[in-house]
A = this chain, B = another copy of it.
Amino acid sequence: MTEVIEGLVPITRRTTSSLIVDQLRERIVDGTFPPGGQMAEAQLAATFGISRGPVREALQRLVQEGLLVNIKNRGVFVIELGPADLADVCLSRRLIERKAASLLWKSKDERHLSRLDVAAAELAATTGDSWAEVVERDLAFHESLVESAESPRLSRMFATLVAETRIGLATRPEARRERAALVAEHRALIELLRDGTERRLLAAIDAHLDASLGSARPTAARQGRAGATDSPA
């Protein structure tokens, strides 16, 4: 058996398509690729300085993730989130976050609670009026909350929901909120996680999500891009 040297991490280069996925996802959620816009393979390949093969693999993964829609012989397009979609995202997020909060409330694991403290502080530390940065820190807090459930599957599901939330918030100026209000609500959540009742904690989560995403009324809307030939599930 070969000796393992402390401090040296084995270099496990990730696959190229995986790296592409991360970059594309970031650009999709921050609005660089607008909803409904096409992801041109050749252009992306040229931009990354690689061939179309890995780009196509990355796009397929994002299709499976639900952030892109594939129309045969036309191309892949960024999803357009209608009111019904946002309501669905809200419903799903509430389900997962309530569970995570409930678990953390029961365990009171200080390791996770302090991580939430940090996340909340980082939101409070945002300067200026960069709405995008506020959204990012806000969602980082929520991801930390879900991480505390220590459930890989819930975290993975939630990651997609976060991405969709960012798309929704990036393209809806009316969803902007005061940073101060968000900071206060996060601090209140941590307070309730530590010393509150479960009932009030869950009510606070509902209220927080409603305030952020609840503006979209669940009116009738299509559940996917018409003509999509390639559903992710």
Partner-B contacts on A (CB < 8 A): 12-15, 17-18, 53, 56-58, 60-66, 70, 72, 85, 88-89, 91-92, 95-96, 99, 151-157, 159-161, 223-224, 227, 229-230, 232-233
Contacts and interface: CB of A to CB of B under 8 A. Distances in A.
**Overall SS of chain A's interface:** helix
Contacts of A91: 151, 153-154
Q: Please indicate which of the listed interface residues A14, A18, A223 has the most CB atoms of chain B within 10 Å of its own CB.
A: A18
A13 to B, nearest CB: 6
Contact of A230 (B15, B64, B161, B229): B15
Contact of A156 (B57, B58, B153, B233): B233
Nearest to A18: B230
A89 B153 CA distance: 7
A85 to B, nearest CB: 8
